Amino acid sequence: MNDHLATRASILIMLALVLGCPTSADDDDLANDDDLANDDDLANDDDAADDDDAADDDDAADDDDAVYVDLDLGLTHACGLRVDGTVDCWIKSTVRGGKYDFGQDEPPELSGVVALKLGSMHSCAIVEDEEGSRSIRCWGLNNAGQDEELPPSNYLWGGCEMNLCCVLDGTEPGATAGTPRCWGGQPIEPGPTPPEVQLTSVHPGLQGVCGLRADDQTIECWEDESETSDSLVTDSPEGSFSYLDVSSAGACALTEDGAPVCWGLLPDAELLSGLPPLVSLQVSSGGACGLDAAGSPHCVGWTWPFGVPEPPGVFTKVVVSSSAACGLRDDGVIHCWGEPESVDGFPSAF
């Protein structure tokens, strides 16, 4: 394993644990100071603070009645897709109004959203119009082409990592596979043009991008163009898999019997060997959570105790960041748990 890869991953893990905010990127990379909120003005504007409190109360009341069908979790924020095709987002209280607040919790007025994915400090949604054509809409931080406009097509998600997002471009409406298309990038580079292969899923990471091939469910990976021997690509396992996820620190796939197989720079992936058979699995630089066939979450953490406590109920999806986890319960309610400062401001019933 290259020393520079291990060093880069270690730096990423550490910065993600410090308030959930990157410290290696300077202000010019993130945004111009003129575009950031002025903390002194916010602190002195009592009327604005009162208005914000009233708005937060109204949002909380609305959230109590919301029914969600999808969710995702970024480094600084979380978003949920309502059953009516609209989107709600939440930002960490420790980030709100500060230099890393890029409006992550202020999605544009969207309707017809069918899926969403979150990067570190931005979000993207697939929006379907009345004719069935799908487009991509993004909001939040835009310092690396995150809001690049893709032409309408038959898009399937995909995923985002840091500032890089990838989707699958299906051949026709209703397709369950497609060719990968990626945009955004720095500090992650999309690398060479994605292979023109049909994939059923695609997942960007810090060291490259991987997906599951539609023909045989084997793993297809391609590299960041700045690297020559990334372990994400060179160490990817052989065989067929039912599920795949890639994070900034490595990747895990599930065998047909639900056993995790992990590679890359994940620090303590062997902890996953004690879990029951899983039908889905999300990994991060801080830990991992998966669901069994009954919808029960199972979590392990290598930098904090993801599974303390594991939430009650039956879940249809669980997602993780470096220091938090969120799950979508079968009644459409979102629960988040983790380090207190990492979930303060997120939906939670715990």
pLDDT of residue 155: 94
User: Does residue 304 register a pLDDT over 80?
Assistant: no
For 117-140, write each residue's pLDDT tens digit: 999 999 999 999 998 899 999 999
Cβ 49 vs Cβ 296: under 8 Å: no
Please give the average per-residue pLDDT across 339-347, as a whole number. 85
pLDDT band per the 50, 70, 90 thresholds, residue 37: very low
For 62-86, write each residue's pLDDT tens digit: 455 789 999 999 999 999 999 999 9
C-alpha closest to that of 285 among 2, 70, 95, 75: 75
User: Does residue 1 register a pLDDT over 80?
Assistant: no
What span, in angstroms and rounded, lies between the C-alpha atoms of 300 and 347?
Answer: 21
According to the per-residue pLDDT averaged within each range, which of 33-42, 254-263, 296-305 is highest?
254-263
pLDDT of residue 301: 84
User: Does residue 172 register a pLDDT over 60?
Assistant: yes
Angle (CA) 130 203 177, round 5°: 50
User: Does residue 11 register a pLDDT over 70?
Assistant: no
| Helical residues (DSSP H) of the chain, grouped into ranges | 3-17, 27-30, 39-44, 46-65, 231-234, 340-343
Query: Can you give 164-213 as a three-state secondary structure string?
Result: EEEEEEECCCCCCCEEEEEEECCCCCCCCCCCCCCEEEEEECCCEEEEEE
pLDDT of residue 51: 45
pLDDT band per the 50, 70, 90 thresholds, residue 295: very high
To which H or E segment does residue 332 belong? none
For 220-229, write each residue's pLDDT tens digit: 998 755 554 4
**Residue type for position 294:** A
Q: How do the residues of the chain divide into helix, strand and coil, expressed in percent and rounded to 5?
A: 20, 35, 45
pLDDT of residue 193: 64
**Buried b / exposed e along 278-307 (16+ C-beta atoms within 10 A):** bebbbbbbbbbbbbbeebbbbbbbbbeebb
Higher per-residue pLDDT: 42 or 344: 344
Cβ 251 vs Cβ 264: under 8 Å: yes
Higher per-residue pLDDT: 43 or 314: 314
Please give the average per-residue pLDDT across 248-271, as a whole number. 88
**Residue type for position 148:** E
Backbone φ, ψ for residue 207 (5° rounding): -105, 0
User: Does residue 316 register a pLDDT over 90?
Assistant: yes
Residue 275: CB atoms within 10 A of its CB come to 19
pTM for this predicted structure: 0.79
pLDDT band per the 50, 70, 90 thresholds, residue 156: very high
Cβ 58 vs Cβ 65: under 8 Å: no
pLDDT band per the 50, 70, 90 thresholds, residue 13: very low
For 192-219, write each residue's pLDDT tens digit: 567 789 999 999 987 789 999 999 999 9
User: Does residue 15 register a pLDDT over 80?
Assistant: no
Higher per-residue pLDDT: 39 or 277: 277
User: Does residue 244 register a pLDDT over 90?
Assistant: yes
Higher per-residue pLDDT: 148 or 190: 148
> Over the chain, what is the mean pLDDT?
79
What span, in angstroms and rounded, lies between the C-alpha atoms of 40 and 42?
Answer: 5
pLDDT of residue 211: 95
For 319-341, write each residue's pLDDT tens digit: 998 888 999 999 999 999 887 87
